[in-house]
């Protein structure tokens, strides 16, 4: 049996989008309560009954969230223009080697706006 496991994380951060068009509201400093969904996919282990240990995903995310929470995202290397598209790819790059079967990262900046990234 193959299954997908998804774990959710949250953090608070400020940002500006310096490459947004002149006059766009996102060029101003603003903040979000971000939600990040990390999904791994694989065969369910017949002994444990799971695809991947939730604790391992949390362990991989802990230092990343510590780096981002209550910060100005533009100061983080690789997030100088922190659109949710760029952030989703950035999370993928940080997690890919630590989370076997990583298949999707979703970054929500509001309850109605999110970006789905599948590593391509």
Q: What is the pTM of this model?
A: 0.95
Q: How far apart are the first and last CA of the chain?
A: 25
Q: Are 8 and 36 in contact (CB under 8 A)?
A: yes
pLDDT tens, position by position, 11-33: 999 999 999 999 999 999 999 99
pLDDT tens, position by position, 54-92: 999 999 999 999 999 999 999 999 999 999 999 999 999
- The CATH number assigned to the domain with range 2-115 reads 3.30.479.10
Q: Are 41 and 71 in contact (CB under 8 A)?
A: no
User: What is residue 62's predicted lDDT score, i.e. its pLDDT?
Assistant: 98
User: What is residue 103's predicted lDDT score, i.e. its pLDDT?
Assistant: 98
CA distance 88 to 78: 11
Say whether 82 sits in a helix, a strand or coil. coil
Angle between helix 54-68 and helix 84-95 axes, rounded to 10 deg: 130
Domain ranges for the chain: 2-115
Active site positions, annotated: 26, 70, 109
Which stretch of DSSP H or E encloses residue 94? Answer: helix 84-95
User: What is residue 60's predicted lDDT score, i.e. its pLDDT?
Assistant: 98
User: What is residue 58's predicted lDDT score, i.e. its pLDDT?
Assistant: 98
Structure tokens at 77: 């290397």
């Amino acid at each position: 049996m193959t299954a997908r496991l998804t774990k959710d994380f949250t953090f608070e951060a400020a940002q500006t989008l310096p490459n947004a068009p002149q006059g766009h509201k996102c060029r101003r400093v603003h903040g979000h309560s971000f939600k990040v969904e990390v999904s791994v996919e694989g065969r369910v282990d017949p002994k444990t009954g799971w695809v991947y240990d939730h604790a391992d995903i949390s362990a991989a995310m802990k230092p990343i969230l510590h780096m981002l929470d209550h910060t100005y995202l533009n100061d983080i290397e690789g997030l100088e223009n922190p659109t949710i598209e760029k952030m989703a790819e950035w999370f993928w790059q940080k997690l890919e080697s630590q989370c076997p079967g990583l298949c999707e990262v979703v970054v929500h900046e509001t309850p109605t706006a999110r970006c789905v990234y599948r590593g391509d």
